[in-house]
Each structure stands twice: as C-alpha cells, then as structure tokens.
Structure 1
Amino acid sequence: MIEELLPPGVTSSEAFDDAAPAPLFPAEAALMEGRRERRRRQFATARACARRCLTELGRRPVALLPGPGGAPQWPSGVVGSITHCEGYRAAVAAPASAVAALGIDAEPAGPLPAGVLALITSEAERAHLAGLAAADPSVPWDRVFFSAKEAAYKAWYPATGIWLGFREATLTLSPEGTFEATLHPPVPPPVHPVYEGRWLAGRGLVLTAVTRAARAVARPAMVPAPAMISAPVPS
C-alpha cells in the first residue's frame, strides 16, 4: 500500500502481521527489554522492513536505534521513516542526495478518541474537516488529518532537530488523496516551509506520506523539545 504514496527512488517495505522472523541487533534487543511481547514484535517487524529498504539501496543492514525525540537514526547518507499500528508495519528510505526528508504514518481507519481533535486542530481546520465529512462521510477525515500531521512532523524533525506542536502546522486535505502542511517553527529566524504529501484509506487503515526533494537549505540549530501531548516512544 505505502508504495502508492511514494515517488520514484524511495524504497519501501511493509508487513500486515509479525509472522515472519525478524531478528533484532543486540542494541535493539536491549532497548526492547521489559517491553510487552506484542510491542517487541511490532518493533522487530518494523525494523526488518527498514533493513529491507536499506538492502534495496545497496546498504548493509544495521541497528536502527531511536535518536532524540524517538526518530530512528538512519545510516549516514540515508533518510527514512518507520511506522507501525495495529495490523500494519512499514518503512521507507531514500538516498539523502535525492531526498531531504521523509515521513510516513499509519493509523487504524476509525474515528479519533474523544477530545483529541480539539487538541490538534484550529477552528478553521475543524471547519475544513466538517466540510470534507459532509461531502464524503465514508472517509475517517479526522484520522486522515491526524496521520497527515504526524507524517509531516516525522519528515520535519529529523531534518531540522526542531520540535513542533500539533498547532504549529496548518493542514489542508484534498479528497483526491493529497494534503499540504504549512509548518510554523517557533525558532527564529522564522521559516515557514510547506510540506506536500499524499494519503490513502483502505484495508481498515489510513496511510500518509511526505517526501521532500533534496535542496540546499541551511539546517536550523537544535532546540530543546517542549512538552508534548504524549511522550515519544521508539518507532
């Protein structure tokens, strides 16, 4: 599924269960010590997907440990993203010479828990979602919206080291399967990049992806992360 959202040159791998063997590197296994078996298997399958992506790029498989903020640390010269939810695990990767940022997210295709939408949207965004829902109530628009913001943040943070809150992005969704996220970083000098992405819903899932082509852009300085809605966990 995820390959439908990606441009040429980005490798991908996905799994819908944890049936296939997925051995962990020792450092990854140590990270998962004490975790529930279900969580460990999700983590291992997602890492196996990521290593298949590396192999497709001609890179050797390596341990992929979470860095600051929980984002996986890819080998030098590679950008990538990992996601997992109930019934789905996936990874994408590309050469950093061609792609500056990648972010993917997977969510179950159901409504968000009560109260979450108000935390992650502005009044204008809620009106936008209401219009989409009125036109096509078959799509879980609130979940697509949440996933699209997650994908944008997962592309943004590893490339910049700057944390964003859910309100520090303005998102618009298109029924045609695309979206646009205008990010509002809190750190001067103000930079307001626009991330374009794609989404799809099917097989009980919502998938989103953001890909940004490489270009000469100054890297902002790292800044401390503010309080988040929930603590980050390894992807």
Structure 2
Amino acid sequence: MIESILPAEVVAIEVYDDPPEAVLLPEEEPVVAKAVDKRRREFTTVRHCARQAMARLGVPPAPILPGERGAPTWPAGIVGSMTHCAGYRAAVLALDTDLRSVGIDAEPHVPLPEGVLEAVSLPEERVHLAALAAGSRDVHWDKLLFAGKESVYKAWFPLTRKWLGFSDAHIEFDPDGGFRARLLVAGPVVDGVEITGFTGRWTVANGIAATAIAVPVKA
C-alpha cells in the first residue's frame, strides 16, 4: 500500500501483524526494556521492516535508535521514515543521493476523537475538510489531515532538527490522492533554496489512511 504513494527510489516494507521472526538487535533492547507489550511489539516490528529495506538497498543490518526528539537514527547514506498503528507497521528507506528526506504516517481509517481536529488544524483547514467531505463521504478527511501533518513533521525534522507544530503548516488535499503542505514558518534551506512547503500523496486501503512525502535531491 505505502509504496503506491512513494517514488520508485524508495524501498518500502509493510506488514499488518507482528511476525515471530521480528527481533531487536542488542543495542535496541534497552530502549524498550521496561515497555508494555504493545509498545515493544510496535518498536520491534517496525525495525524488522526497516532492516528488510536496508537489505534491499545493500546496507548491512544496523540498530535504529531513537535520537533527538525520538527521530530514528539511520546509517550513514540513508534517509528513512517509520510508522506504526493498530494493525499496521511500515518503514521506508532511500539513499541520500536520491532523496533529502522522507516522511510517512499511517493511521486507522476512522474519525478523529471528538475535539482533536480543533487541536491539530487551522480554521481554514476545517473549512477545506468540510468541502471535501461534502463530495466524498467515504474518506475520513480529518484523520488524513492528522496523518498529513505527521508526515510533514517527519520530512521537516531531518532537514532542520527543529520542532514544527500542527499550526505551522497548512495542508490542502486533492481528491485524486495528492496534497500540498505550505509552511507558515521559515523553511529549511536545501541546495541553496528555501523550502516553503512539501507535496505528498495519500491513500486509504485495508482500513488504513496513509500519507507520504518525499523530498528529492535537486538535479
């Protein structure tokens, strides 16, 4: 599913359960030594997916430890992103000669809990979602917005090492599977050019709403 909204340069691995062969490397064990079973399974399986993606890129298996603000620390030469939710785990990786950054998010395709949309969206975004809902009621646009904001942050952070709040980016969706995120704060300078926003793709399948952003290397 997730590979359908990412460019060909990205290796994507996804699963819908926790396979028994998914194990942690010794360096990762202390991170979840005291975690509840659900957290441990998510943490383990998503790293299992990431190491499968490493193998496809010809990269030896390596520990993936949480770094600054919990962002995964990737081997040299690799950019990537991971996501997990109930019934779904995924990792996507690419060479840093192909992409500057990548951000994905997946969420159960159900409405946001009451009150959450107001906390994660701008007033004009809520107007936009209402218009989309009038034309397509089989998509939970509020959950897609949440996933889109998460993807924006995951694409943004490796380029800036700075926090980005929900109100710091404005998202507009296209019903055909695309979206645009306009940054409302100063963006990162990449290859001498300030990034003022991101473009991404979205999909809904198998009960999951997923979003993805890939920032290419300037030609």
Task: State the TM bucket, normalised to the shorter chain.
Answer: over 0.9
Cα deviations by residue, 1:20-71 (Å, 9 ceiling, x for unpaired): 3111111211100111112101110100000011111110010000111111
Number of residue-to-residue matches in the alignment: 216
Asked if 1:65 is matched to 2:65, the reply is yes
> What is the one-letter code of the residue matched to 2:206?
R
* Separation (CA, whole Å) in 2 of partners of 1:2 and 1:188: 26
2:215 aligns with one of 212, 215, 221: 212
TM-score of the superposition, structure 1-length normalised? 0.88
Q: Does the 8 A contact of 1:110 with 1:143 survive in 2?
A: yes
Q: CA deviation at 1:185?
A: 2.9
TM-score of the superposition, structure 2-length normalised? 0.94
Q: CA deviation at 1:187?
A: 7.9
> What is the one-letter code of the residue matched to 1:78?
I
Mind listing any 5+ residue stretches in structure 2 that lack a counterpart? none
Q: Does the 8 A contact of 1:83 with 1:89 survive in 2?
A: yes
* Separation (CA, whole Å) in 2 of partners of 1:185 and 1:123: 17
Distance 1:213-1:30 versus aligned 2 partners, 3 A rule: same
Q: Does the 8 A contact of 1:182 with 1:192 survive in 2?
A: no
Q: CA deviation at 1:177?
A: 0.6
Matched residue, 2:3: 3
> What is the one-letter code of the residue matched to 2:169?
A
Q: Does the 8 A contact of 1:164 with 1:186 survive in 2?
A: no
Distance 1:187-1:2 versus aligned 2 partners, 3 A rule: closer
Asked if 1:203 is matched to 2:199, the reply is no
Secondary structure class of the residue paired with 1:27: coil
Secondary structure class of the residue paired with 2:75: coil
Cα deviations by residue, 1:114-161 (Å, 9 ceiling, x for unpaired): 111111111111100000001111100000111011011101101211
* Separation (CA, whole Å) in 1 of partners of 2:36 and 2:165: 29
Q: Does the 8 A contact of 1:18 with 1:41 survive in 2?
A: yes
Identity %: 45
Matched residue, 1:140: 140
Q: CA deviation at 1:202?
A: 1.4
Matched residue, 2:82: 82
Distance 1:64-1:136 versus aligned 2 partners, 3 A rule: same
Q: Does the 8 A contact of 2:188 with 2:195 survive in 1?
A: no
Asked if 1:161 is matched to 2:161, the reply is yes
Secondary structure class of the residue paired with 1:132: helix
Cα deviations by residue, 1:145-187 (Å, 9 ceiling, x for unpaired): 1101101110110121121100000100111011000113358
Matched residue, 2:196: 193
* Separation (CA, whole Å) in 2 of partners of 1:171 and 1:152: 9
Distance 1:85-1:55 versus aligned 2 partners, 3 A rule: same
* Separation (CA, whole Å) in 2 of partners of 1:103 and 1:77: 16
Matched residue, 1:224: none
Matched residue, 2:12: 12
> What is the one-letter code of the residue matched to 1:145?
L
Q: Does the 8 A contact of 2:159 with 2:188 survive in 1?
A: no
RMSD: 1.7
> What is the one-letter code of the residue matched to 1:82?
M
Structure 1 residue runs of 4 or more that deviate by more than 2 Å after TM superposition: 184-189
Matches within 5 A, 1:33-182: 33-182=33-182
Q: CA deviation at 1:215?
A: 2.9
